[in-house]
Structure 1
Amino acid sequence: MRRSVFRRPADLVERTRWLFGACAVVSLVLTSLGAVAGAGTWQLTAVAVSVAALLASWLHRYTARRGSIALDLLDAVAVCVFALASPVPAVALGVTFSALWFRAVYGRTWETWAYTAAQCAGLVAALLLWEVVPGHAGAAPAAPLLGALPIAPLLAVVARHLAAVLQEHRQAQAWDATLARLTTQLLGVTDVAQIRQRGWEAAEHICRITPGLSMVVVDDDGTHLVVQRSVGLVRQLPDTLDRTPAAAGLAAAATAREPRRITAPQQLIASSGGARCWAAIPMPDEPGSYLLLGGSVLHPEGVALIQSLVNQAALAVRATSAYRKLEVQARTDALTGLANRSTFSAALAAATSDADGDPWVLFVDLDDFKLVNDRLGHAAGDELLRAVGARLAGVVRAPDLCARLGGDEFAVLVHAADAGEAETLGRRLVEVASAPVQLGAGTARVGASVGAACVLPGASWTSTLQQADLAMYAAKAAGKNRVRVAGSPPPVSAGALTPA
């Protein structure tokens, strides 16, 4: 997209280019006024043509944001013509010096030197051709021109240094913006794969804005470097690389947990266009994994930036892992690994009638558990709770929920069942809980009393749990190690009514 040459850009580099371009145009105009003083027709025509050529070349450079070797040669020819049409060739120095400043803020260093050489050659050519051009009587004064020409390389050095500083400043701003954007993108992200993908996208962006930079993620299996992914100038990289040349550098990086220079395998150098400067950044929390950073030149600032990016992604992964652990701890009983009371209460509150049946709650209380604690100790009691909890969970089918409510109390939420199925499950729970358990301190055996209650439409979860609790106490009162269903008539034995 073409941009207006009359609007000053906001970006520092582009604003500097705009300023240098404006100065070059002003210098061209002012110098042209001196060049046409007392000029004849052909001199006026030559000045007009050379000025038009220079303006067209500079406008293209500014709008395209890049230099062109062909247009650089056109500039040299135009300056030569301008010098030949001037009263003396040295007048053209006013154009050459400002043109050098403008050209130096584009392209690479060698292009600036080539442009400087072409400009000087154009001026010297004008000096040599002076006598053969019509209207010139005698040789042109050479001293003013040749005495000032050595200034051109000095201007090129200073201008190129300024351009390099501006580019580094722009690059640093772009890098900082990338890291800031990554920080924002990672806020609230709790998926590890998504965090790594966002980090890799940031790495890809850095490679795009940093000419010549390449990155390769590898796993060191002890024999080869297994390539995981790559970005930048790397092309046709094999799946595995010879680790021998890089072994010492990788070991140093792993030991120091910091970037270290490595000798890159030949396959990597060939695939990256001959880039021989490589560093290995160990991936945090991933032993044997490295990010290889390479280019024709590696600046410490760039290596530090990539390390910051890697560390930022690693911190996000650690935060996610910590969050997930806390989340699991908040939902899980620490002793048995089953769902805790809070999780069970939330699931029970959310339970509603199902087309395949009604939800049921089975309240399980271990019989004579205190005797185990008293006889074998609390450590044995905890071991027993873990064993019984695992047995109860093994009986429960997905997606039903088994939880430890606290102490020796467990509960099961069955999402779809009838009274018969709930009672059958209760008897199975009694059976597995009552089986002997081999503990470190000896063999222990407990019973289980189970109370079952249906989750009725409109009933609160607290009332449902209370009904199951009361049914469990009815089972204990009836002799323990059995099941009672809330709301069912008590069993009759030998003509007597069994208390419920």
Structure 2
Amino acid sequence: MVILGTVAACAPPLVLASGQKAFMAATLLVLAASLVVGYRRARAPVAADVLDAGCFTLVLVFSQVPLVAFGIAFQTILYRGLYTSSRRALLRTVLYLLSFVVGVPLWAQAQPEADPRIFRAALVAGLLSTATVSFFGWQLAVSIAAREASARRERLISRTGQELLGALDEARIRVIGLRAIEALVADTPGLRAVSVRRDDQGVKITSSAGFLARTPERLPPAGDLGSPAFWRPLGEDCHWEPLIYDETPTEAVALGFPGPVPKDVTATAGSILNQVLLAYRNSLAHSELRVQALTDPLTGLVNRTGFTEATGQVLSHPDPGPVSVLFIDLDDFKEVNDNLGHAAGDALLVRVAALLQSLVRTDDVVARLGGDEFAVLLRGIDEDAAARIAERVVLGTSMLTSGPDGEYTIGASIGLVRGEPGAGLEDLLIRADLAMYEAKGRGKGRLQAWRPELRPTTRPR
């Protein structure tokens, strides 16, 4: 349509050329080439506007009827307005008005026999028509630019949502959100963005995008993050619009702009931050569900799945170092359950869990495997040190009593296995289980380290 429209606009001046058809054809060819090339590339330098105006002036001078050149002006203003800024639209308007002011008098000199009324009509109608069409072209350029900016922001929101869709790590979620805000700032001339976090020492600037005259590390500790006045130390020449959410009252993002922040920019930033907050809430829910899936609800210890996962991670390390596993089975626990009830049994299990945690380090893993079975993963200590910890467990467990008069006591049978280089997780756990059964079979209330000659009397669990 652009090419056909250009050809159609060039036809009347060529037909009505006053004896200079070859020169008129060359001028129209140059003008048409400039229009088509600029449109296809979606850009045109200022020199192209000057060239267009010069060609338009020549078309005016060598036409029998100067108003036929108006079609050229219309085509040029319309097509150039599709991909240029409002400043360039204003420059183009001035150039074409000058072309009418210069070209029409030159046409009158070249056509001395022409009716003076044609001169006046061409000058007045040309100026008014050019001004009107230029205004239309400017409005068209502004509309197209706004639509393109809106489309880019919608794509930014969509892309950010896709990146956040599978993000469960808080640090990654923050990086994605920050990158999206930076992209919004880069796409909006004059926009600035600052994010802050309030702590015990005041308000710390965590990130910024866009030009800031002053970038202090901190802002005054006193003040409301939701007040635009709080952000003025970052730049008196900016209007600041803070974005604060109830989920993060100690954190905020503020947008700065030389004038009022455009509403569509604020809406885009708000949509991005809403997606970030949604992803953050999802990550918290996922973490909570994962903790619940790996935690024993009664004792708060790691459950069997969590213990197996933790042990597998340690053994898969290229250099795990000394590793020992204790499998613990409580002796005579069934008597407590049968005679005092399950509530007393549960209370005793909680006391055993507290005892185990008090006898190991914070880096070790204590787990309740189910029922009255427990396990401990010891890292960075040799088998002798692990045996000493196991003996303390045996002693501490034997001192736990239940009942009104403490008439019910329990004990602990413990199997100890040392992780060897190349040992698989399944083999390690089976060995610890076998050693524990050996200890129970030898009289309960004792420790048994695994030995190669141990053989299961029953199928290991």
Corresponding residue number in structure 2 for 1:448: 411
Provide the residue aligned with 2:234 in structure 1.
268
Deviation by residue 1:225-247 (Cα, 9 ceiling, x = unmatched): 53221223446533344688x84
SS in 1 for 2:119: coil
RMSD: 4.4
* TM superposition shift of 1:336: 3.0
Q: How does 1:376-395 map to 2 (within 5 A)?
A: 378=343, 385-395=349-359
Q: Equivalent residue of 1:332, what SS?
A: coil
Match of 2:81 in 1: 104
- Number of corresponding residues: 442
CA shift in 2, pair 1:300/1:460, >3 Å: same
Relative to structure 1, is the Cα distance of residues 292 and 398 closer, same or farther in structure 2, using a 3 angstrom cutoff?
closer
Asked if 1:470 is matched to 2:432, the reply is no
TM-superposed deviation, 1:28: 4.4
Match of 1:250 in 2: 226
| 1:203 counterpart = 2:170 | no
1:186 to 154, 157, 164: 164
Residue 83 to residue 242, structure 1, CA distance change in 2 (3 Å): farther
Return the letter of the residue paired with 1:30: A
Deviations 1:188-216 (A, max 9, x none): 32221112112222222233333443322
One-letter amino acid of the counterpart of residue 344, structure 1 = F
Q: Identify the range of structure 1 (365-374 vs 320-329) with the bigger mean alpha-carbon deviation.
A: 365-374
Contact 1:453 1:467 in 2 (8 A): no
Whole-Å separation in 2 of the counterparts to 1:34 and 1:264:
69
Give the secondary-structure state (helix, strand or coil) at the position aligned to 2:197. Answer: strand
Rate the CA distance shift 1:345–1:224 in 2: closer, same or farther, 3 A: closer
Q: Is residue 96 of structure 2 the alignment partner of residue 119 of structure 1?
A: yes
Q: Is the 8 A contact 1:227 1:241 kept in 2?
A: yes
Cα distance in 1 for partners of 2:203, 2:144 equals 38
Pick aligned residue for 2:12 from 10, 28, 31: 31
In the alignment, structure 2 segments of 5+ residues that lack a partner are 454-461
- State the 1:98 CA deviation: 1.6
- Quick one: percent identity of the two aligned structures? 26
Query: Aligned pair 1:289/2:251, yes or no?
Result: yes
Q: What is the letter of the counterpart of residue 355 of structure 2? A: R
Please show how residues 85-234 of structure 1 align to structure 2 within 5 Å. 85-131=62-108, 133-134=109-110, 136-137=112-113, 139=116, 141-220=119-198, 226-234=204-212
Secondary structure of the residue aligned to 1:339 is: coil
Gap change, CA 1:297 and 1:118, over 3 Å in 2: farther
Which residue in the other structure is 2:268 paired with?
Answer: 305
Aligned to 1:333: 296
CA distance in 2, matches of 1:397, 1:265: 47
The alignment's TM-score, normalised by the length of structure 1, stands at 0.72
The answer as to whether partners of 1:422 and 1:452 remain within 8 angstroms in 2 is no
Alpha-carbon distance, 1:317 to partner: 1.6
Give the partner amino acid of 1:176: E
Contact 1:44 1:85 in 2 (8 A): no
8 Å Cα contact 1:363-1:450 kept in structure 2: yes
CA distance in 1, matches of 2:93, 2:452: 103
Counterpart residue type for residue 284 of structure 2: S
Matched, 1:405 2:369: yes
1:365 maps to a residue whose letter is: L
How far did residue 39 of structure 1 move?
1.4
Q: Classify the secondary structure of the residue corresponding to 1:150.
A: helix
Match in the other structure for 2:327: 362
Name the CA shift for 1:374/1:314 in 2 (closer, same or farther; >3 Å): farther
Change (3 A) 1:349 1:84: closer
Distance 1:263 1:357 in 2: 59
2:289 corresponds to 1:322:
no
Deviations 1:369-404 (A, max 9, x none): 9769988994x8766644542432343358753212
* Matching residue's letter, 1:327: R
Go from structure 1 to structure 2 and tell me whether the alpha carbon gap of 1:407 and 1:224 turns closer, same or farther (over 3 Å shift). Answer: closer
- 1:83: Cα distance to partner? 0.9
Q: 1:59 to 1:241 in 2, by over 3 A?
A: farther
Find the aligned partners of 2:393 and 2:146 in 1 and give their Cα distance. 71
**1:404–1:411 Cα contact (<8 Å) kept:** yes
TM-score (norm 2): 0.77
Q: Supply the distance in 2 between the matched residues of 1:373 and 1:192 (Cα, whole angstroms).
A: 48
